[in-house]
Amino acid sequence: MLNGILLNTSAGAVAIGAVVLASQFGSGPIGSGVYGPDQALASFRSGPDQPERNWTITTELADLMEMDSVLAPFLAARLDASHYTLDRVISGESRVPRLFLPRLPEGLKDIADTDTRKSVFLRTVLPLVLQSNREILAERQRLLTARKLIDAGKALPVADAIWLEQLAEKYKTPADDLDRLVRRVDVVPVALALAQAVEESGWGSSRFARLGNAIFGQYTTLDDHGLIPKQAGDNPDFKIKAFPDLLTGIRSYMRNLNIHPAYADLRRKRAEIRAEGGKPLGRVLAVTLTGYSERGFDYVKTLHLIIDANDLSDLEKKARLAPPSAPAPVS
C-alpha cells in the first residue's frame, strides 16, 4: 500500500523499473498498452465537425522551429503561405499546425498593421496553448481511469501508484484525495489562455515577453531567474519569472491556475460545468479571475472585451492540433 492506495504487485502488474514516469504526458497505461495524449484526444480527432484535411501544414513549417529566431514579417508570410489563418481554423478548414516556437518572433511590436501583428501573436501562441492542454488532458484521462479502479476496490499496479503519487505532488494535493486532484488536473480553456496572454504581454510587446518568454506576468520572489519590474521599488527580489521557452511558461501558467489558492473559484466552476456534462469555456471561467489582477472585475471585463473583439470563443470551439506527421518510410 502506498499512501493508502492499494498496489497490485502480481506478475501481471507493471514493474517499477519499467515505468516511464510522466513529466509531461502521463505515460504507461492503467492496465495495458501505451497511454498518452494521442489516445486521450482520440475523441477530439473524429466527428463531423473535424474534417480530416490539411495535415501537411505541420511539415511545411517545421524548419521554423530549428531557427534561433524568426523575424515577425517573415513568419507572417510563411504562416499565410501555408494557409494557417485564424479564419480557416474557425471555419474548420484547417487544424492548427504543431508549430512550437521557442520565443516570440522578433520585431512583432514593429509591425505597422494592427491586424497582422495581432494575428501573428495569436497564431504563435495558439499551438503552444493547445499542446499544454493536450498534456494536461492526457494526465486527466489516466487519473480518471485510476480513480475508477480505486473506487471499485481494485488494486493499482505499482507503476501507476507511483505515477499517481508524482502527479499529486505536482498538483500540490494528497494522493488519496482524488476528488480534489481531479478538480486540479484539467485544461485551461483556449479563449481564456489567449486573452490573458494578450492582456499580460501587450500582444507580445512587453519586455518580459520578449526577454523572458513570460507572456502571463507570473511573479516570483524566489532566488530564481527573472526580470525585475520597473515598479519593484525597494524590493529587488520581486521579479517576473522568466522561462527558457514559451511552452515552459505556458505550462507554468496553467499549473498556477490549477494549484494556487487564489484560483480555487475557477477550479470549482470548471468542476461544476464538468459535472453537468458541459465543456469549460474561457468567457465563462474568466469571471472567476478577479484575483489575478489588482483591477478585479475591471480585469475580467478586459478579458471579455479581448475574447469578443478577437473571436476567441469561436476559435476555442474549433481549434485542434494537427496530429504528428507520419514518420518517413525506411528505405
Domain containing 138 — which CATH number?
A: 1.10.530.10
Average pLDDT, the chain: 82
Q: What is the pLDDT of residue 222?
A: 61
Q: What is the pLDDT of residue 166?
A: 97
Q: For the chain, how many structural domains are there in total?
A: 1
Q: What is the pLDDT of residue 68?
A: 79
Q: For 8-30, what is the mean pLDDT?
A: 38
Residue 43 placed within a domain: yes
127 and 133 in contact (C-beta within 8 Å)?
A: no
Residue 81 placed within a domain: yes
Residue 330 placed within a domain: no
Q: State phi, psi for 236 to the nearest 5 degrees.
A: -65, -15
Residue 166 grid coordinates: 508524482
Residue 1 placed within a domain: no
Residue 237 placed within a domain: yes
Tens of pLDDT, residue by residue over 310-325, are 999 999 999 999 988 6
Residue 131 placed within a domain: yes
Task: Dump strand ranges (E) for 72-172.
Answer: 156-157
Name the residue with higher pLDDT: 118 or 14.
118
Name the residue with higher pLDDT: 16 or 57.
57
Q: For 18-45, what is the mean pLDDT?
A: 37
Q: For 12-36, what is the mean pLDDT?
A: 36
Q: Which domain holds residue 142?
A: 7-318
Residue 2 has pLDDT above 60, yes or no: no
Q: How sure is the predictor about 24, in pLDDT bands with cuts at 50, 70 and 90?
A: very low
Q: What is the pLDDT of residue 192?
A: 98
Q: For 20-32, what is the mean pLDDT?
A: 39
Q: How sure is the predictor about 34, in pLDDT bands with cuts at 50, 70 and 90?
A: very low
Residue 254 placed within a domain: yes
Residue 147 has pLDDT above 60, yes or no: yes
Q: What is the pLDDT of residue 67?
A: 86
Distance, CA of 131 to CA of 98 (rounded, Å) = 8
DSSP 20-82: ---SSS--S-SSSS--SHHHHTGGGG-STTS----TTHHHHHGGGGGSS--BHHHHHHHHHHT
134 and 321 in contact (C-beta within 8 Å)?
A: yes
Tens of pLDDT, residue by residue over 231-281, are 655 556 566 788 899 999 999 999 999 999 999 999 999 999 999 999 999
Residue 115 placed within a domain: yes
Q: For 111-117, what is the mean pLDDT?
A: 96
Q: What is the pLDDT of residue 327?
A: 46
Q: What is the pLDDT of residue 59?
A: 58
Tens of pLDDT, residue by residue over 186-243, are 999 999 999 999 999 999 999 888 988 989 976 666 656 655 666 655 556 566 788 8
